[in-house]
Chain A
């Protein structure tokens, strides 16, 4: 069964450093997302991406964050200058419009990257 993959599974970095989290979405999916889950808190939407541009971003997704689809298979999240409060599990998800209802889809999640900022 196709699945979303993410690397690395755990990333440790120093405050102020740049990190790039990698995701390979399901191959025929067209919509891509990043979510994060701070320890003990709910999963929060960060950004959605379609047709090589951001569709929507949350207020969390400030200028320190960027996303890119550098080739036909990868989808990356870059944090330019990490802060302590960026420590969280970051989930990538992808979807196709599989419901038959306009714009409604099922999102499939990867296993996550645990980011620890020291």
Chain B
């Protein structure tokens, strides 16, 4: 069974540009979660998508947005990039039921210069 896949692995952008990050969940998982992990910091919740809808959002500005497609894959968009947006962006999917842990992808390392 394929795990959660994220692309690209690395992304370098200039301040002010837009970045698009992609995630494919495990087959059968309908929920996709996005987290930001800045260097030396913990995981901060960004967005949760389920069945194509945004279900919850973390404490991030509106320039962080995304969507979920009919095949449950997801896209995270970051507009007007700032230097402090440099981080590892992790996507996770989850099976049904609270007891099932999240399965994470390997992340996209975004560097804003």
B is a partner of A: no
Chain B residues with CB under 8 Å of chain A are none
